[in-house]
Amino acid sequence: MHKIEIDAEIDLLSENRRLAAENRKFLREQGIVAVNIMGAIGSGKTLFIEKTVEALRDIRIGVILGDVICRADYERVAAHDVVAEPVNTGKECHLDAHLIHHRIRKFEDVDLLLIENVGNLICPVDFDLGEDFRVVMVSVTEGDDVVEKHPEIFRLADVIIINKVALAEFVEADVDKMEKDARNLNPEARIIRMDLKKDIGFEEWIEFLRGVLNVSGNSG
Amino acid sequence: MHEMSYAEAILENLLNLAEKNNAREIKKAHLVIGELLLINPEQLEFCFRAISRETIAENCTLEIEFVKPEIRCVKCGKEFDAPAGVCECGGFVSVNGGKEMILKSVIMEVD
C-alpha cells in the first residue's frame, strides 16, 4: 500500500454546462424560446405564468414547474390547457440542466417554454438550464432591501420584475430604492414595475415577450 | 442549500478517478471554489460526509481553497470587494471569476 497524489484539474461544473448546451441546441433547432423564471417563494411567479399563458393564447406554450415536493403550482398551470410538466427536485432548491434535459422532448412542438424555477434567490443562480433569457421576480413584500442582499441573481438577470407595487405603501417598501439597486447591479436589464392583481406593468411584459418571439420567428 | 448538488459532483468525480487508478481509499481532495458560488464549507462537508458513507471516500478530507473574483471598474480601474454595478466615476464594474469549482488534486491509497 502506498499513497499517490493525482493532479486532477476537473471542472465540477462542466457537466451542468454540457447538458445546458445540449438543451440550448435542442431548443434552437426546434425554434423554441425558453425563459428561466426565478424568484423567492411567494413573489408571484405562478400567477405571472398563468397570466402570461392566458395573454398569449395564439402561441403554443409549454411550462415546466420546479418545486421541491409539491404539485400545487403544476395543477394550477395545467388547468390552463397548456403542455405542463412538474419537476420535483426532492431535496434541492434549484433546477439544473439535467432535470430539464430529461423532460425537454415533451415540448418539441411549443413556441415558448416557461420554466418556473424553485422559489429561491440564491441556489438557482449558477445552474444554467439552457434558457434564452432569465426573468427574476421580486415583490415589495419581501422588503425593499431584498435586491441589494442578493446581488448575484439580479446581476445576471435579463428582466427584473418588481411585483406587488400596489402594496408598497402598506408594507413601507421604497420601490424607487429597489429599482435603483437593481439598476446599479445591472445597468443592462429591463426593469418592470408590476402588480399582477391590479394589472400594472403586465402589458409591458407581454409586449417585450412578443418582441422576443417575433425576432425568433415564433409569432404564433 | 445548493451544497448537496456540489457534494454529489465531488463524490462522483472522486470515485471515477479512484476507479481509473485502482485506488483502495481516497484520502484527501483539494478543491478550488469561487467565492461567488456562495458555498458554505460546513454544509458542503456535511453533505459530503452523508453521501460518501460506506464508499472508499468516507474518510476523505476536503481541503477547500476559496478564490476571489476580480471586480473592477472598466473606466477608472478601482477594485471592489463585492459586485457593485456602477462605480462612482460612472463606469461599469465588471466581475470576472469567482464561479470556479475545480477538483484540483486528490491523494489516494493504492496497492
Q: What is the pLDDT of residue A198?
A: 96
Cell of A23: 438543451
Q: What is the pLDDT of residue B99?
A: 95
Amino acid at A170: F
User: What number is the average pLDDT over the span A89-105?
Assistant: 91
Instruction: State which residue of chain A sits closest to B107, comparing Cα positions.
Output: A5
Alpha-carbon distance values, A83 to A19, A46, A59, A172 (Å): 22, 15, 12, 39
pLDDT category of residue A218 using cuts at 50, 70 and 90: low
| Residue B44, min C-alpha distance to chain A (Å) | 13
In sequence order, what are the residues at sequence separation of 6 or more whose Cβ sits closer than 8 angstroms to the Cβ of residue A122? A150, A152, A153, B2, B38
| Residue A209, min C-alpha distance to chain B (Å) | 25
Lowest-pLDDT choice from A151-165, B50-64, B77-91: B77-91
Residue B100 pLDDT exceeds 70: yes
Instruction: State which residue of chain A sits closest to B4, comparing Cα positions.
Output: A92
List pLDDT tens digits, range A22-71: 999 999 999 999 999 999 999 999 999 999 999 999 999 999 999 888 88
Cell of B97: 471569476
Fold category of A5-217 in CATH: Rossmann fold (3.40.50)
Measured between CB atoms, does B51 come within 8 Å of chain A?
A: no
Find the DSSP H helices in chain A: 14-29, 45-55, 72-78, 97-101, 146-149, 151-155, 175-185, 202-215
List pLDDT tens digits, range A106-148: 999 999 999 999 999 999 999 999 999 999 999 999 999 999 9
Measured between CB atoms, does A98 come within 8 Å of chain B?
A: no
Contact A159, A133 (CB under 8 A): yes
Residues pairing with B62 in the sheet: B29
DSSP 8-state class, residue A174: -
List pLDDT tens digits, range B29-70: 999 999 999 999 999 999 999 999 999 999 999 999 999 999
pLDDT category of residue B86 using cuts at 50, 70 and 90: confident
Cell of B35: 467565492
Helices B3-20 and B41-52, interaxial angle, to 10°?
50
Q: What is the pLDDT of residue A68?
A: 83
Q: Which helix (H) or strand (E) holds B46?
A: helix B41-52
Q: What is the pLDDT of residue B83?
A: 85
Instruction: State which residue of chain A sits closest to B36, comparing Cα positions.
Output: A152
Q: How far is CA A215 from the centre of its chain?
A: 20
Q: What is the pLDDT of residue A219?
A: 54
Structural domain boundaries in chain A: 5-217
Q: What is the pLDDT of residue A195?
A: 98
Residue B18 pLDDT exceeds 80: yes
Measured between CB atoms, does B67 come within 8 Å of chain A?
A: no
Residue A220 pLDDT exceeds 70: no
User: What number is the average pLDDT over the span B12-32?
Assistant: 97
Q: Which helix (H) or strand (E) holds B8?
A: helix B3-20
User: What number is the average pLDDT over the span A60-83?
Assistant: 92
pLDDT category of residue A89 using cuts at 50, 70 and 90: confident
Q: What is the pLDDT of residue A215?
A: 83
Residue B28 pLDDT exceeds 90: yes
Instruction: Round to whole Å and give the CA distance between A101 and A103.
Output: 6
Neighbours of A78 (CB within 10 A): 16
Round the average pLDDT of chain A to a whole number and report it: 95
CB proximity under 8 Å: A 121-150 to B = 122-123, 125-127
